Amino acid sequence: MAQVLAIANQKGGVGKTTTSVNLACALARLGQRTLLVDLDPQGNATMGSGVDKRTLKASVYQVLIGQARIVDAIVNTEAAGYALLPANRELAGAELDLVDLDARESRLRDALAEVDTRFDVVLIDCPPSLSLLTLNGFCAAQSVIIPMQCEYYALEGLSDLVNTVRKVHANFNPRLSILGLLRVMFDARMALAQQVSRQLEAHFGAKVFTTVVPRNVRLAEAPSHGLPGLLYDPQSKGAQAYLEFGRELMARLAHTGAAAPATPASAT
């Protein structure tokens, strides 16, 4: 069964898409059959994966409203080694279109069930809101990864997000949990960043991933070349951090039993 992970934070510009694209690339590099779902009408994960959002045959929008099958909408990223369920502006209409449909919050989960055996990991790049689209992401996922910048207001938004995950867990998806918080765009020279980082560790303990992604201009440049940072400049500190995060994530998934290969029970 595929591990489905939602990359979420209702704030914009906190590094969700950068994390989604580079983590997808890192996991593919580590041998995982990976699908990246672009669930943001901005289509940044699509463009950042080298797929032109203006010329899609079908997108996640048609899949959600039942006008296309997921297998017909998935495309392969040429260089990056993962599969992509792309998005474009049309997805902005989904909020309204879904309201009249049955099982409106579980449309993505139902679609992903069709390709479950084809992938080891599915990453969902969520939009910057706690909307019906994000709800679809949370209903489809087992875990949530929260990328965050270590700045003053970061902690404030976090409680809303944690509450939303709790509500979805209680009402829609009992499998859902927060896998961890990832510190991104980290600037070690900033005293405030260090301070917020320590607060995060104090509040969330082991939920805070050990890997810290530094602020690195190569990660910001990569999308304009239609490449994940991992391919644009593999030696950059940003790329190396995401590769390291891929390893840490796989270890954590194996530890929680989620991605562990079938092992015989210990003979006692």
Which of 260, 263, 264 is CA-nearest to residue 250?
Answer: 260
Strand-pairing partners, residue 84, are 36, 75
Instruction: Give the whole-angstrom CA distance, residue 18 versus residue 148.
Output: 12
3-state secondary structure at position 100: coil
Nearer to Mg ion among residue 3 and residue 44 (C-beta): 44
Binding mask of the shown chain, residues 145 to 174, with x at each position contacting ligand ADP by CB under 6 A = ------------------------------
User: Does 104 engage in binding with Mg ion (CB under 5 A)?
Assistant: no
Strands 34-38 and 75-76: unpaired
The piece of 49-57, 92-100, 155-163, 213-221 that touches ligand ADP (CB under 6 A) is 213-221
Which tokens sit at 246?
């891929």
**Separation of alpha carbons 25 and 257, rounded Å:** 23
Contact 140, 6 (CB under 8 A): yes
Binding track, positions 41-60, relative to ligand ADP; x by CB under 6 A: ---x----------------
91 binds ligand ADP per the rule CB under 6 A = no
* From ligand ADP, Mg ion, none, interface partner of 184 (C-beta below 5 to 8 A by class): ligand ADP
Range in contact with ligand ADP (rule: CB under 6 A) among 200-208, 217-225, 244-252, 257-265? 217-225
> Which two structure tokens, joined as six digits, stand for 34?
């990976």
Interacting residue with Mg ion among 4, 15, 16, 26 (CB under 5 A): 16
Token pair of 117, please?
């055996």
216 binds, among Mg ion, ligand ADP, none (CB under 5 to 8 A by kind): ligand ADP
Among ligand ADP, Mg ion, none, what binds residue 180 when CB lies within 5 to 8 Å by partner kind? none
Cα(148)–Cα(151) distance, integer angstroms: 9
> In terms of CB distance, is 44 or 211 closer to ligand ADP?
44
Residue 41 tokens read as: 């009408």
- Residue 63 identity (one-letter amino acid): V
Q: Which of residues 111-130 bind ligand ADP (CB under 6 A)?
A: 128
Write out the two tokens for 162. Answer: 């944690």
Piece of 25-33, 59-67, 73-81, 215-223 that binds ligand ADP (CB under 6 A):
215-223
- Residue numbers of the site for ligand ADP (CB under 6 A)? 12-18, 44, 128, 184-185, 213, 215-216, 219-220, 223, 238
